[in-house]
Structure 1
C-alpha cells in the first residue's frame, strides 16, 4: 500500500529547499475548486481623451519596482498608490493573419479585456494561393491574392471586434501610414475601443511551409534576394506598391516599436527546430524568420533611449499539434468561437467588401491541428528566479530590453529596489538562478547572437555569478551550445536547468534540437567539460533540476506521454538515466520544490486538457504510486505550477495570478486569491511570498501570510 502523507507547513531555513527522486505521486484537481478571493484593482480602460490606460498593479504590500531605475543602490521604491500604476502596452508581431488567434490566445483576449492598449502587427499579407474557399470548393474558385488578403483582414477585424466589444461588426477606421523602412502600412483602429489597433505591413508571404521560396522573409534574411515585394489587399488604403530590403524590414518593425512604446511584446518562436531525418522546419518558415526580424528590431530598439522597459514572450506554433493540450474545455471553447468568427463559418456577408468576411480555408478546420486547445510558451517557464542571500535578503531576476533585470529586497525591508539592468545584451526570455555554497547567486539563461549575416545566428547558454554574497554580478560567461550550427536545428535549445554539488560545482542540463537532454559539468578548477548526451527521446519543454539533502542532483523532463528522471549516484557525480517515473502525461511545464516533510522533492505539473494541478513526491525508492489527493487545490489555467514552501502560485483561467496554501486547515478546501493583473512567464513561490513580473515590467510581490 502506498504511504499516505498529510502536507504540513515548511520551516523557513531557506527560500527553497531541493531534494530527490522516486516514490509517491499526489494528484490534485478541480478547476477553481475551493474558495476564491479577488484582490487588486482592475486594469482601467483607456480613455482616449486622457491618454493611455494605466494598469493597476496588485495591491501594494511592497510589490512594484520602479521602471527606468537602472542604477544599483537607487533606494527603496514606494509602491504606486491605487490608480497610479505604470501603464501596460502590448504589441504582438506575427507572420500571418490568424497566427495570433491560433497560437497566442487566450493571452490576446485577456489583454483586450484588461483595457490596456494593444497593437497587433501582421508582417505578411497572408495571400497564399489567392483562393478563399474550403478545400472541396478550391478548384472552382479563381485565384485572387489581393482579395484573399482582404478576406483574412476582414476575419481578423471581426474576431478582434467580437473579443473586445462583443460585436464582430463593431466598425474600424482604416488609414495608411508611412513606415520607418520607406514603405507604407495600413493602420486599423477599433472605433469603440481606440486603444486596440491592427497594423498590416502587407509583405509578400512564402506560400509554403518548407518549400524553397527565395522570395520570402526566409530568402530575405538569408540574403538570397535583395528585396521583398509587397502584396496589398483589395480594400487597403495603401495606394502604392513597395519593396523592402532586409534592413528596411528591421527599420519598419523598429519604427512600430517606437510608435507604440510597448512594455510587453508577444512574438513567435525564432528557433522551433527541424525534423532530424528530413531537415524540414517543424514550424512555418514565415513564423521562424518573421520572428528573427522581430528579434533584430527589438535589439535595435533596446539601444534607443527613453522608452519603457520591454519584456518578451515567445509562442510555439505548429509543434503544439503533437503535444498534450493545455487548455481547459471552457477556455478552449472560447478560443474556438473566435476562430469560427475569423473563418466566416456562418457565411453571413456583413463586412461590406466583396472579397469575403473571413478565411474560408480555415472554415474547413477552425480548430487547426488541435491548436485551439493549446497555448504554449516557447521560453520563460522557469519558476526558480528568486533567491535568498545569507543575510536574508531576496533577489529576483527577469529579462527586460534583452538584459538581465535584477531586483533586491533587503531582509529588513518591505519594498523591493530595482530593476537594475545589468550589462550584456541579447538575452532570451526565461532565466533560472541557483544559490551556491557560501551564498553567492548564479544566474543562467540563453543568449541570441544575431550577427551580420544569416550564418552568424546562434543561441548559446550564458551565466553570471555574484562577486560576493549580496554583491553585484561579474561579467557574462558563455558556456556554448550543443548544436553544431543554426542550419541543422535552428539553434533549438531549451532554457537550462542547473544542479549544484556540495563543493560548488554546477551541472548544466538542457534539451537539444534532437529532443534529447545534454549536459556540461563544471570541473574543480572552475572550467567546464564537454557537452555530453544524457539520452531520452521526444523530450519537450524545459527540464527542471533539484538537489536532495544528501547533495545528489536530480533532473526531470517531460515527453508527450510521461516524465523522465536522471539522478546522480553520489553528490557531485555524473547524472545517470533516463529512468521511467511512471507518471501520466503532463502539459510539459514542470517545476520542482522541496517536499513539505523534508523528504525528497515535490514535482508540480498540470493534467492535460483540464488545467488541474498535480504533484509527485520523489523520496528515493519504489515505484511511483498515487497518494493523498488534495481536494480542491486545482485551478484552471495553463503553464507552470510554482509550488513554494507553503504556497502555490499559478496562472489562472483569467490570466491573473492565483495563490493559495496547498491545503486548508483541518482538511478544508484552500482559499485561492486572484491578484488582478496580467503577468509574463511563470510566477516564483517561496517561503517569503510569490513574485511575478507584470506586463508593465514591474515586479509584483505577494508576501506569504505565514
Structure 2
C-alpha cells in the first residue's frame, strides 16, 4: 500500500468516532501523542501489555482453537484484533442436522451464509468483551494493498476490540483438490484468488488478489495494527500415515503460510515494535486428550454456542441469520472446546547459565533469534539483541557446553520464491568462546527428507551435552517417531539422522541426565509416555520403553534430581501438574526406568508446559496468567499468580550460586523474569518468589509499545 493509501486508511479508522464515554478517536492510538520518556528506569510488577492479533482462515477457527487465550486477552483490556482470511462460505447453506436441530434446507446462498457466520462471530466477541452479544459494532470498508478492500468492525463499547474481514474465497473442502483456494494461490495453480463478499458487508466492489498482493494486504494489516503477538494456525501440520491426506484443513495450513510470508515482509518495515508468533494446533486436537479444566471448557463452549445461534432468537436483525447453524449440530466440535495446544514454542529449555552467573535467554522475535543476557547476580539484563538470519520459527532450545559456551537450537522455515522451495530444517549456533560472539547458523537439515509438500511436522529440537562436550539433538519427525543426530567429537560435524523408534509421539521430546551420567529421553503419546535411557554412560540409547505412566496432555518437562530424572506434566481434563521420579532399573543392568507414584505438584488448573528449576515451577494457573509454585509443598493447590498473560512456555534455570530464576515472553514481546529463589528444597509452607517484572525495565513515563 502506498503512503497515501495508508494515510487514507488511518484517517478512515480514526473516523470511527464512537461518541460514547468521551471516546473520539479510534482505539489504537491514532491522534494520540506519546509523552517524552523520563531518563530513569522503573521496575514494576508485570501486567498484561502489548497488542494481540489473531489471523485465522475461517470464522470460528479462533473460537475453536485459540480460546481461552483469546477471551483472556480481551478481558485484560489490551488491543485485540482478529483477521479472517476467507469468508467461510462453504456450501452456502446455513443449516444444522442432528437430534432436535433439523433446519429446513434452502437454496445455496454463499453470501448469506458467510454473513450469518459474521453475525455469530460479532455476537461471540461482544459476549467475551461485554457480556452482551447484542453490543453494537461500527463497520467500515477500508482499502487494502493490491486494490482490494476489507471490512473492519470496531466494538463500540470496547473499541480496542476489532475484527478484520479479508473476504477471500475458501476452498470449500477440507482436503479436496480445488485450485481456486488459498492452497491453489500459494502453489501457483491460479494466478489470482477472488473475493466472496458477504451480504450486508460495507465492502461493495469485488476484487482479486495475486499471491504477492494477498501477502502485501496481510502485511499491511500488521503495519496498521502493530501487534506485539501474532497468533496463527499451523503451516506444517503433517500428513496422515503413509503420506495421505493433510492432518488439518488445507485453508488452515496454507492460510498460515500466507501469514508467515506477510510477517516476514512486515518484519522488514522500519519503526515497528518487536513481535512474536504463536502457532496453534487445529483439527489434530480431535485425537488428543483434553487440556482444559471443566470450568474453562464450559466457558469456551458458551462462546461457541453464541456463535452457533443455538437459541434461534433474532437478536441481530439479519435475514441471513445470527450465527452458524452448521456449528449448532456440534458446538463442541470434535472435542475442540476442551483443548488448546501450541504446535510450536511449547519447550521450556530456552534459558541457560553459561559461565558462572551469566544467564542467557532466547526467543524468536520478528522471525529472528533474539537473546537477552545478564552478566552476574547484581548486573542488569541487556537485550534483546539478535543473531543474524531470518526465518527462525517460534521456539528455542539452549544448552551449556562444558567450557561455558552456549549453544542455541531452533527450526527454520525457508519460504523461497517457488512453492517447492518451502521447507523447514533444524539449525544451531554456538559461541566462539565463553561469553563470546555466536557463530553462524548451521543446518542439521530435517529427518523428513521425503517431504515434497513442505508439511514437515518436526518438533522443536531437544539437546543433550555429554561431559566431553558432544551434542546430541532429538526431534519428533512427521511420522511421529524419535530421530537423533549426534556429534562424534566436540565441535565436530553431526552424523546422519538416526531412527530411534516409538510411535504416535506428541509434543516435543525432553531430555535430562541423571547423577550417574545416564541420559534419559521422554516423549508423550496420546495415551502415556515412552522412555529411552542409556544403560550406562556413553552407551547407546536404549528403548523405547513403555513407562506405564498415565495419560498426559502432551507437554513434558524433565530435570535431574538426585539419582534420577523428574518429569512434570499436565493431567488431562483438570490441568493440574503431576510429577514422577524416574530412576535406574533394579539391578543396574539397563532396561526400563522405574517410576515413583505420580504426585500433585501444584496448580488446580492450567495448560501448557511447566518450567522447572529445582523446586521452582512456573506455568499457567487457572486464570491463564504466569504463576510460580514450589514443588510438592504442603498445599499443592497453591500458585502465586501474577497479572500477566504470556506466549509460549516458561523457562527456568538453577544457577551455580544456588538460586533459581523463571522467565517468560509476555504478550508485549518483552522478557519477564522472577526475582531469585532458592533452587533447593524450600521450608514447608514457604512461598515462591514474586513479583514478575520486565527483565529490561521500562523507562518511567514511557507507555508500552
TM-score range, shorter chain: 0.7 to 0.9
Contact 2:602 2:635 in 1 (8 A): no
Structure 1 residues 140-219: aligned runs within 5 Å: 140-219=105-184
Given candidates 41, 46, 69, the residue that maps to 1:78 is 41
1:242 to 200, 207, 215: 207
1:482-503 Cα distance to aligned partner (Å, 9 max, x none): 1124435611111111111111
Q: Which moved more, 1:137-146 or 1:519-528?
A: 137-146
Counterpart pick for 2:580 among 616, 625, 629: 616
- Change in CA separation of 1:366 and 1:680 when aligned onto 2, cut-off 3 Å: same
1:284 to 249, 256, 261: 249
Corresponding position: 1:649 with 2:610 = no
Asked whether 1:549 is paired with 2:512, we answer no
2 CA distance for matches of 1:457 and 1:677?
A: 36
Say how many residue pairs are matched.
634
1:606 matched to 2:570: yes
Q: Deviations over 1:500-525 (max 9, x none)?
A: 11111111110111111111111226
Hey, what does 1:627 align to over in structure 2? Answer: 597
Cα distance in 2 for partners of 1:53, 1:204 equals: 29
Deviation of 1:467 after TM superposition, in Å, equals: 1.3
User: Take 1:629 and 1:484, find their aligned partners in 2: how far apart are those partners?
Assistant: 41
Structure 1: 5+ residue stretches without partners? 1-45, 55-75
Answer whether contact 2:448 2:456 (CA < 8 A) is retained: yes
On the 8 A contact 2:92/2:114 being kept in 1, the answer is: yes
Q: CA deviation at 1:577?
A: 1.2
- Using the TM superposition, give the Cα deviation of residue 300 of structure 1 relative to its aligned residue in structure 2, in angstroms: 0.8
What is the aligned partner in structure 1 of residue 76 from structure 2? 114
- Asked whether the equivalents of residues 27 and 159 of structure 2 are also in contact (C-alpha less than 8 Å), the reply is no
Please point out which of 417, 434, 438 is paired with 1:473: 438
Q: C-alpha offsets along residues 385-408 of structure 1, whole Å, 9 cap, x if unaligned? A: 111122312111111001111111
CA 1:89 to 1:576, structure 2 compared with 1: closer, same or farther past 3 Å?
Answer: same
SS of alignment partner, residue 223 of structure 1: coil
Check whether the contact 1:407–1:420 (CA below 8 A) recurs between aligned residues.
yes
Structure 1 position 447 matched with structure 2 position 412 = yes
CA RMSD of aligned residues (A): 2.1
Aligned to 1:567: 533
> What secondary structure is seen at the aligned counterpart in 1 of 2:41?
coil
Q: Using the alignment, how far apart are the partners of 2:598 and 2:213 within structure 1?
A: 59
Higher relative contact order (CA 8 A, sep 6+): 1
| Paired residue secondary structure (1:250) | helix
* Secondary structure at the counterpart of residue 673 of structure 2: strand
Indicate conservation of the 8 Å contact 1:544/1:591, yes or no.
yes
2:680 maps to 1:691: no
Once residues 77 and 562 of structure 1 are traced to their aligned partners in structure 2, the CA distance between those partners, rounded to angstroms, is 52
Q: CA deviation at 1:634?
A: 2.7
Partner SS for 2:331: coil
C-alpha distance in structure 1 between counterparts of 2:166 and 2:350, whole Å: 37
Deviation at 1:49, TM superposition (A): 5.8
Q: Which residue of 2 aligns with 1:673?
A: 640
Shift of the alpha carbon at 1:570?
A: 3.5
Show the counterpart of 2:382. 417
Distance 2:24 2:228 in 1: 21
TM-score (norm 2): 0.87
Per-residue deviation, 1:629:
3.8
**Aligned counterparts of 2:338 and 2:87: Cα–Cα separation in 1:** 26
Cα contact 2:511–2:521 (8 A) shared by 1: yes
Q: What does residue 486 of structure 2 align with?
A: 521
Report how far residue 415 of structure 1 moved: 3.2
Q: State the 1:450 CA deviation.
A: 0.4
**Any idea what the Cα deviations from partners look like across 1:36-91, whole Å, max 9, x if unmatched?**
xxxxxxxxxx995688689xxxxxxxxxxxxxxxxxxxxx99345579x8951111
- The DSSP-based 3-state class of the residue aligned with 2:647 is strand
Mapped partners of 2:401, 2:595: distance in 1: 33
State the distance in 1 between where 2:185 and 2:553 align. 36
Could you tell me how far apart the structure 2 residues matched to 1:77 and 1:227 are? Answer: 53
Secondary structure of 1:101's aligned partner: helix
Pairing of 1:203-602 with structure 2 (within 5 A)? 203-277=168-242, 279-413=244-378, 415-487=380-452, 490-524=455-489, 526-595=492-561, 598-602=562-566
Correspondence for 2:92: 130
Query: What is the correspondence of 1:47-126 to structure 2 with a 5 Å cutoff?
Result: 78-80=41-43, 87-126=49-88
Unaligned runs of 5+ in 2: 1-20, 30-38, 587-592, 655-659, 679-705
CA contact (8 A) 2:28 2:225 kept: no
Take 1:48 and 1:536, find their aligned partners in 2: how far apart are those partners? 58
